[in-house]
C-alpha cells in the first residue's frame, strides 16, 4: 500500500482509502477492467462504496496520468495501471484485452520535433490465440 500512498503524494492528490483501493485493484488485475467492473469488484468488500466515488476517482487518477484510459472496445472505457507506453490488442470474439509491449517507433521522431507526448495509444484488433485455435479446430471437423 505504501507505494500507492507515495504515488498519490507525488501527484499531490488527496489520499483516500477508496483511491488506494482502486489503484491496488488495477495494479493487481491487468485485465483492463471497465469503471463498472472496478466498482462491482470493490463493492463486494466495501458495501459503503458508491459508484460516483469510483468513477470520480478513476477520472482523477487518469488526469494525473497514474492510470490509462483505453477506448479500444468502442463503447466502454477500460482502465490500466501499467506505466509506460504500450499498446493493446483486443480479441473481437471473447473481448480479451492484452498488453502488447512494443513502443511506437514514431514517438522519438515526434519528440525530436519538440512536441511533448504524454500518451501513446496503439490498438490492435483480431482474434486471440485461444479463439484462433477454436476456429481452427472447428474447421478441421467435418
Ligand atoms: Zn479471444
Ligand atoms: Zn495495458
How close is the Cα of 97 to the center of ligand 1, in Å? Answer: 9
How close is the Cα of 90 to the center of ligand 1, in Å? Answer: 8
Query: Taking ligand 1, which is a single-atom ion, which protein residues have CB atoms under 5 Å away?
Result: 91, 93-94, 96, 128, 131
| Closest alpha carbon to 54 in 38, 71, 73, 66 | 38
**Domain ranges within the chain, ordered by starting residue:** 1-82, 84-142
Q: What is the pTM of this model?
A: 0.84
Q: What are phi and psi of 62, to 5 degrees?
A: -70, -45
How close is the Cα of 49 to the center of ligand 1, in Å? Answer: 32
Give me the CATH code for the 84-142 domain, please.
3.30.1490.190
Question: Tens-digit pLDDT profile for the chain (142 aa)?
Answer: 899 999 999 999 999 999 999 999 999 998 999 999 999 999 999 999 999 999 999 999 999 999 999 998 887 899 999 877 789 999 999 999 999 988 788 878 877 788 888 888 889 999 999 999 998 888 765 6
Give me the CATH code for the 1-82 domain, please.
1.10.10.10
Contacts with 114 (C-beta within 8 Å, 6 or more apart), sequence order: none
Amino acid at each position: 500500500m505504501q507505494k500507492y500512498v507515495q504515488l498519490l503524494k507525488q501527484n499531490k492528490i488527496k489520499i483516500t482509502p477508496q483511491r488506494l483501493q482502486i489503484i491496488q485493484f488495477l495494479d493487481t488485475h491487468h485485465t483492463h477492467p471497465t469503471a463498472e467492473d472496478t466498482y462491482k469488484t470493490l463493492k463486494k468488500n466495501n458495501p459503503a462504496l458508491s459508484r460516483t466515488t469510483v468513477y470520480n476517482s478513476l477520472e482523477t487518477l487518469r488526469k494525473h496520468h497514474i492510470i490509462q484510459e483505453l477506448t479500444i472496445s468502442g463503447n466502454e472505457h477500460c482502465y490500466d495501471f501499467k506505466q509506460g507506453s504500450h499498446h493493446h490488442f483486443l480479441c473481437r470474439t471473447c473481448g480479451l484485452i492484452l498488453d502488447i509491449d512494443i513502443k511506437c517507433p514514431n514517438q522519438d521522431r515526434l519528440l525530436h520535433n519538440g512536441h511533448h507526448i504524454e500518451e501513446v495509444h496503439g490498438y490492435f484488433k483480431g482474434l486471440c490465440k485461444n479463439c484462433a485455435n477454436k476456429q481452427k479446430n472447428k474447421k478441421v471437423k467435418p
